[in-house]
Amino acid sequence: MKNQGKDNLRQVLIRKYGNLIGLVFLIVLTTILTNGLFFTQRNLINVLRQVSVNGILAVGMTLVIIIGGIDLSVGSVVALTGVIVALSQPLGTIPAVILTLLAGAFIGGWNGFFVTKFRIPSFIITLGMMTIARGLALVFSKGQAISGLNDSFLAISESYIPPAVSMAVFIFICLAAAAVALRERKSSAYGRKVFAVDIISVLNVLLIAAAVVILVWLIGFRGMPMGVAVFLTIAFLGAYTLNQTRFGRYIYAIGGNEEASRLSGINVKSVKFLTFLIMGALAAVSGMVLAARLNSGVPTSGVMFELDAIASVVIGGTSLSGGYGSVGGSIIGAFIIGTLNNGMQLLHIDPFYQEIAKGIIIIGAVLMDRKKK
């Protein structure tokens, strides 16, 4: 039995931290190869901002994939919503943002409607929407990038929350999270004391502490970039929804066994519809953050973003067949891809080769995932 405990511990470690270990390895490697250029405040902030656009999509994609679907339209929706928000700037920043969010939600809802009402596979529906949205973006913008956005809109991505404020907010969040975690441990149904679990919780604390130290160091530079704050907030909300709400539980259940879920009294159609709708709205958020960063709505932006988002989710250990996965994993996946992109840029690797390298890494990550299962 003792032996078994050890075995379990190793398995649990690899299963839970496999992709995180990969990320740390990648960061160390990139830092060494770039003579430390990668691990500077300026560059890391840059990485964070790059990751934010894809990360927001990855959060939504996690929900969609866990429920057993896929959304291929998000890249095009990023472009379309970028164009919409740029065109609607004259209305004022807040109306423009609301309008764009509604547009994204509408597209997501459209996808969800066809998936649930006509039982068409989401792969097909969103593939269609991918080209429809891209076409609309080109039509609305007449094929031109639309620049000259309101300064107040650009703040969505480009402004910084001052160091002092972000530090305060950050500390508050850490304390709140710790309180929630402690309460959960206490109320666990069977107060089991298993060796492995204790090591895991120590590790968790260490990892979180490391992340906190790095973030504090980064925030200390110029404060928290607004785009990153938006991403982190969405990631937190996504994880919270999946783990702590009925809606989240139903997403796992439907992905695991749709028919059994229906017979358990879950309104499968509305949960699915809502999941796609949320994905659409998040694509709009991502599109706006990107537009603010580019200072224009670009109809040709966002190409292949859906693949980066899906890759992040899959690298993060979420099963493409549904029913299993986590937002945390997807975020690690997004950081792996972000680190890879940034590292290769810093190393001046030919962009053509970058694509090849990325593809290999994605396949490798999924292979590793298979092996450990």
Provide the binding-site residues for other proteins, judged by CB under 8 A: 1, 3-4, 7, 183-184, 187-190, 192, 244-247, 249-250, 252-253, 256-257, 259-267, 323-324
Of 142 and 183, which CB lies nearer to other proteins in the complex structure? 183
For residue 297, list its beta bridge partners.
146
Shortest Å, Cβ 250 to other proteins: 8
Of 240 and 353, which CB lies nearer to other proteins in the complex structure? 240
Of 79 and 234, which CB lies nearer to other proteins in the complex structure? 234
Shortest Å, Cβ 6 to other proteins: 11
CA–CA gap between residue 287 and residue 108 (Å, rounded): 14
Q: What are the residues whose beta carbons fall under 8 Å from the beta carbon of 301, sequence distance 6 or more?
A: 78, 79, 82, 290, 294
Count Cβ atoms below 10 Å from residue 115 Cβ, excluding itself.
25
Could you give the 3-state DSSP secondary structure of residue 119?
coil
CA–CA gap between residue 141 and residue 27 (Å, rounded): 39
Shortest Å, Cβ 293 to other proteins: 33
Of 142 and 186, which CB lies nearer to other proteins in the complex structure? 186
Of 35 and 188, which CB lies nearer to other proteins in the complex structure? 188
CA–CA gap between residue 281 and residue 77 (Å, rounded): 9
Of 137 and 254, which CB lies nearer to other proteins in the complex structure? 254
Shortest Å, Cβ 76 to other proteins: 31
Could you give the 3-state DSSP secondary structure of residue 248?
helix
Shortest Å, Cβ 37 to other proteins: 43
Of 144 and 267, which CB lies nearer to other proteins in the complex structure? 267
Shortest Å, Cβ 319 to other proteins: 8
CA–CA gap between residue 39 and residue 21 (Å, rounded): 17
Task: Give me the residue label for tokens 């099963």.
Answer: 319
CA–CA gap between residue 210 and residue 194 (Å, rounded): 25
Ramachandran sector of residue 77 (left: φ over 0; alpha: ψ -120 to 50; beta: rest)? alpha
Of 38 and 273, which CB lies nearer to other proteins in the complex structure? 273
Shortest Å, Cβ 204 to other proteins: 16
CA–CA gap between residue 97 and residue 89 (Å, rounded): 9
Instruction: Retrieve residue 165's tokens.
Output: 């404020």
Taking a C-beta distance cutoff of 8 angstroms, is the pair 323, 68 a contact?
yes
CA–CA gap between residue 369 and residue 371 (Å, rounded): 5
Shortest Å, Cβ 7 to other proteins: 6
